[in-house]
Amino acid sequence: MSELTSQTILIVDDSPENLTVLSELLQPLYRVRAANSGRKALAIAATAPRPDLILLDVMMPGMDGYQVFELLHGDPATREIPVIFVTAMDSHEAEIRGLAVGAVDYITKPIVPPVVLARVRTHLELKRARDRLAGQNTWLEAEVARRMAENELIQEVSIRALAHLAETRDPETGNHILRTQSYVHELARRLKEHPRFSTTLSDRYIRLLARSAPLHDIGKVGVPDVILQKPGPLTPDEWVIMKTHARLGSEAIEMAEWDINTPVDFLALAKEIAHWHHEKWDGTGYPDGLKGDAIPLSARLMALADVFDALISRRVYKAPMPPEKARDIIAEGRGKHFDPDITDAFLAGFEAFVAIARRHSDPV
């Protein structure tokens, strides 16, 4: 079948003579379907193969052409089919009305065959071009979505790789990065509608927050093994060195930003988390002694998540603590170590955080 005859035209006219004239004119070039009433036209237009163009008589009994056009245009399945009004009304007012309601063209009777063929060909070519453009747009949208998903996956893999690199220096942390990432996401989700946080905790912010959370301890790569893996309490001098991991982590991320010379939203959050997740609500944390809301929200969320996981996890220097005891310690730190509202969200959803811990428990 040629490209021309593969296109379908629907002719709508209550006059058998007019249907015959138009059909004989168009059939050598196109696939033609015919309807002698508005209701039949609507039924045909809704079935395959849907017409590529409709030649629609205006003056018909029962349902006139304007009513048929309105119903066609109101149906998502047929609204994109171009319609040419074909009518004996040859006044400028009638033509203006037809074009105003949305018809692509207006042909008066009696028809002039070369004119009809030229206008039909023009509007079919325009429709083919629109369909081709729509197809390209659909492909482009799908390609953009695919590449964005691919980029996000690359980011996720890169973050996990860096986080696991830090983890190799501190092997007993196990699934710590998965648990803390999930805790942070759960806390943010629960606080999303809170008046203090609603303007910050958008869906996008929460997504970026969860993505950047695994980098919170990336600075531990710069801490000597003798300190990082010491099976006992650190000396004051060793503790000073251990605390440098917060600054080392944020500096490493900042250098990555400088290298690409382009700001990346999730890296900004990762830098906040790495630098300030050991700050405390009352100002007694490190490295900068920030207090209250001066501590970035991302770091406040990570502070609670990190402490809870450290309490319930086995380390070279301690046994794991029961979640209920860890909960009590978190509650005691409300307004001291932790943001009071973040603490309340944790306590209200305690069972959800325990479930996360079990889901990502370390292998025995």
Domain end, chosen from 119, 140, 161, is at 140
Radius of gyration, CA atoms only, the chain: 35
The per-residue pLDDT for 253 is 84
The pLDDT tens digits for 269-314 are 999 999 999 999 999 999 999 999 999 999 999 999 999 999 999 8
Between CA 233 and CA 170 the distance in angstroms is 15
Domain contains 164: no
Domain contains 267: yes
Domain contains 364: no
Tokens for 353? 């955080």
Domain contains 163: no
Domain that holds residue 201: 170-359
The Cβ of residue 217 has, within 10 Å, a number of other Cβ atoms equal to: 25
The verdict on 341 and 197 lying in the same domain is: yes
- DSSP annotation of 76 reads T
Best CA proximity match to 281, nearest among 232, 345, 242, 334: 334
Domain contains 161: no
Domain end, chosen from 140, 158, 185, is at 140
The verdict on 282 and 330 lying in the same domain is: yes
pLDDT of residue 244 exceeding 90, the answer is yes
Domain contains 121: yes
Domain contains 174: yes
The verdict on 237 and 298 lying in the same domain is: yes
Q: How many domains does the chain have?
A: 2
The verdict on 182 and 328 lying in the same domain is: yes
pLDDT of residue 159 exceeding 90, the answer is no
% of the chain beyond a pLDDT of 90:
57
The two beta strands, 8-12 and 53-57, are parallel
31 alpha-carbon distance from chain centroid: 42
Best CA proximity match to 45, nearest among 57, 36, 54: 54
The verdict on 88 and 229 lying in the same domain is: no
Mean pLDDT along residues 306-328: 91
The verdict on 206 and 312 lying in the same domain is: yes
The per-residue pLDDT for 141 is 84
- Using the structure block, give the residue that is written with the tokens 């700050």: 279
The per-residue pLDDT for 1 is 45
pTM given for the model:
0.61
Q: Which residues pair with 12 in a beta bridge?
A: 35, 56
The verdict on 116 and 56 lying in the same domain is: yes
The pLDDT tens digits for 84-109 are 999 887 777 877 887 888 889 988 88
The Cβ of residue 316 has, within 10 Å, a number of other Cβ atoms equal to: 12
CATH number at residue 316: 1.10.3210.10
CATH number at residue 44: 3.40.50.2300
Give the sheet arrangement for strand 53-57, strand by strand.
31-35, 8-12, 53-57, 83-87, 105-108
DSSP letters for 280-347: -TTS--SSS---GGGS-HHHHHHHHHHHHHHHHS-BTTBPPPPHHHHHHHHHHTBTTTB-HHHHHHHH
Locate all alpha helices (DSSP H) within the chain, ordered by sequence. Answer: 16-26, 38-45, 65-74, 92-101, 113-169, 176-191, 203-212, 225-228, 236-242, 244-260, 265-276, 297-312, 323-332, 340-348, 350-359
The verdict on 112 and 178 lying in the same domain is: no
pLDDT of residue 245 exceeding 80, the answer is yes
The verdict on 258 and 111 lying in the same domain is: no
The per-residue pLDDT for 48 is 86
The verdict on 248 and 294 lying in the same domain is: yes
Domain contains 165: no
The verdict on 181 and 99 lying in the same domain is: no
